[in-house]
Structure 1
C-alpha cells in the first residue's frame, strides 16, 4: 500500500512538473534560500557605494535628487544618459527574485530616472511568478509625489506585460493614467523642456504606449555563469549604445544578470552578480567619460541591479 502510494505521488509530481517548467526551480530555491542568505551575509560587506543591498536610505551630501535641472531644455530625452533600475520593484521573496534594496521613492531620490516595471493583467507588479506587494497605481502615485517636489526632473517608465492576462496590461495602464495631464504616452521623443515634471511612458516589444526604446543586449545576455564574460558583454553593449545613442529612439543597456535557471551559475543571484559587476562598471564608466569628452555622445539608459550612490553618480556625470 505504502509503495503504491509513493509511486502514484511521484508520477503525479512528474506530471505537474512537465506542465509547469518553473516548478523544479521554485522548489530548489525554496530549499536553498535560507542557506544562500546566510552565505551571502557572511561574505559580503557594504563598504563601497557602487553596490547597495541595504534598505536604509542615507544619501550623502553630494546626492543629486535634481540632477536633470542642469540639462538644456532643448535636448531630446534620447540624447541623455540616464541611470535606471532593472526590475525596479523586485524587493521581496528571496535572493533568486530580489533585484533592488531601496524602495521606489528612495531610488528616485538617489537619481534613478528609468523604471522597469513588470505588471500582470490584474495591474499587480510582479517578478516572474512572485507578486511584489504593489500595484501599478502605487507606482504612479509614488512617482507623481516625487515629481511634485522635483518639477525639473522627468521619469521614464517602461511597462513589461507579464502573465496572467498579459493582454489586459495595456488597458490596466490606460485605466490608471487617465485623468493625469503630466504623463506622456505618445511616440514622439520629447525634449527635456517638454518632459520636465512628467512621466514618459516607454514602449518596447508588444507594449505600444510611449516613446520607442531599443535594447543593445542580445537574447540571453542576462544569464550569467561566468561574471568575467558578463562584464565583456556589458562592455560590448555599452559601446554599441555609445554608437547608437542620440537618434530617434532611446537606447537601453543592462548591467544586471543572474545565474538562476542555469546549472553552472545557479548560485549567482542578482545580488551576487551586482556585487562584482557594479564596482567594475563604475571604473569602466570613468574611462568612458574621457572618450565622451573627446567625442561628445551619450549611452542612453543603463538599467542596474542594486546600484549605490557612487555608481548612479557615475552614470549621471556622463552628461557633463
Structure 2
C-alpha cells in the first residue's frame, strides 16, 4: 500500500511539474494579461456559502432531477473585457454552491492548460482544476461536482491523443470520477451513486476502449437535443453581436426554461419562496417539479464583436434573477452563468432552494 501511494505521488507530482514547465515555456508573454477587473462589476450584496447543500438530498434522486447552479467558462478570469467571464475562483464558486463547471483545456506538450480561446487563464488542469475539485470533495463528501470538458484552442507539441492525456490525469484519482457511459440509458444515475465524485461530461469523441463519461454532442449557437448515452437538451445561443441583440438571447433562455418546466413532473408540495435579496417564507400549495430524465443545460452567457460577456451578464443576470424569484417552485435544470455573483443577489441560492422542501431544511445543513 505504501509503495502504491508513493507511486501515485511520484506520477501526480511529475504531471503537475510538467504543467508548470509547459506554462513557463509557452505562456511567458500571455502571463502578463491583467485579471478581470472586479471593481467595475456590481457585486452581489448577499452571497452566503453553501459548501454542502447536497447533504440531505435523497440518494435515490436522479441527478437530472436537480436544479443546479453552473458557470460558463468557469476558469476564465483573465483577458478582460473579451475573455474574462467570472470573478470568483473555482474554490470560491464551490464554496458558494456552484456544482456544474464548464472546463476548457488546451492540449499542449502532453498536458492540459486552461484557456478561453487563445488566452491562457494562468491555471492548469491538474493543479488548478482536478486537485481543487478533489480537495473540496474530501472536505465535503456529500457533494457532487459536474464537469463539462471541452478541448480549446489549437493543439501543440503532443505525442498522444486528447483522451489519452485526460486518462493520465484521471488515473490516480479514478475513485473520485464517475465515468460510466451507459447508466444514462436506463435513467439510473442517482445521487447516491455519484456522491463525492466528479461526474464527467465531454464535448469530444473518444477512441479509447475505456469509459470517459457521457458525451454531449453540441450544435453551434442554437437550442438542440443531444442523443447519446444520455439525452441532453441545451440552449447555447452564445452569439450576441451587439447590445441590441441581448433581448433575443433572453428569449432563447426563457424558451428553454419554459420547456424544462413543461417537461417536468410534479413530485411533492413545498412551502417556501424568497425575495430577490433575502428569503421570505410563506405557505402555498405548488409542487416541486423535476425533469423526466432529460439533462437541461441553459446558458445565460453570450458575447459578440461589439458586446462582451460582462455586458451580456449585466442584462441577463437580473432578468434570470427576477424569473427565478417569481417562479420559485419551477424545475430549471442546469443554468450556466457568466459573473454568477454579479448584478443580482442570491442567484445561486435561488437555484439551490428548488431542491428542498423548506428554507429551514436548506440552511440547517450548511
**TM-score bucket of the superposed structures, by smaller chain:** 0.7 to 0.9
Instruction: Provide the residue aligned with 1:171 in structure 2.
Output: 164
1:249 and 1:210 map into 2 onto residues whose CA distance is: 16
TM-aligned CA distance change 1:248 to 1:274, over 3 Å: same
Instruction: Provide the residue aligned with 2:116 in structure 1.
Output: 127
How far residue 279 of structure 1 moved from its aligned partner, in angstroms, is 1.5
* Preserved CA contact (<8 Å) 2:65 2:293: no
Matched residue SS, 1:256: coil
Partner of residue 214 from structure 2, selected from 211, 215, 221? 211
* Preserved CA contact (<8 Å) 1:89 1:103: yes
Q: Does 1:275 align with 2:291?
A: no
Greater strand fraction, Structure 1 or Structure 2: 2
TM-score for the superposition, normalised by structure 1: 0.74
How far residue 280 of structure 1 moved from its aligned partner, in angstroms, is 1.4
Q: How many residues align?
A: 261
Moved more, 242-251 or 128-137: 242-251
How far residue 232 of structure 1 moved from its aligned partner, in angstroms, is 1.4
Instruction: Provide the residue aligned with 1:8 in structure 2.
Output: none
TM-aligned CA distance change 1:47 to 1:135, over 3 Å: closer
Instruction: Provide the residue aligned with 2:240 in structure 1.
Output: 223
Matched residue SS, 1:69: coil
* Preserved CA contact (<8 Å) 1:85 1:116: yes
Partner of residue 103 from structure 2, selected from 117, 120, 144? 117
Instruction: Provide the residue aligned with 1:241 in structure 2.
Output: 260
TM-score for the superposition, normalised by structure 2: 0.65
How far residue 244 of structure 1 moved from its aligned partner, in angstroms, is 4.6
Q: CA-to-partner distance for each residue in 1:108-165, whole Å, 9 max, x for gaps? A: 0010101100112221111001111111112100011111111100100111112323
Greater helix fraction, Structure 1 or Structure 2: 1
Q: CA RMSD in A?
A: 2.7
1:109 and 1:48 map into 2 onto residues whose CA distance is: 15
Matches within 5 A, 1:2-41: none
TM-aligned CA distance change 1:48 to 1:140, over 3 Å: closer
- Segments of 5+ residues of structure 1 without an aligned counterpart are 1-32, 51-58, 261-265, 293-297
* Preserved CA contact (<8 Å) 2:238 2:303: no
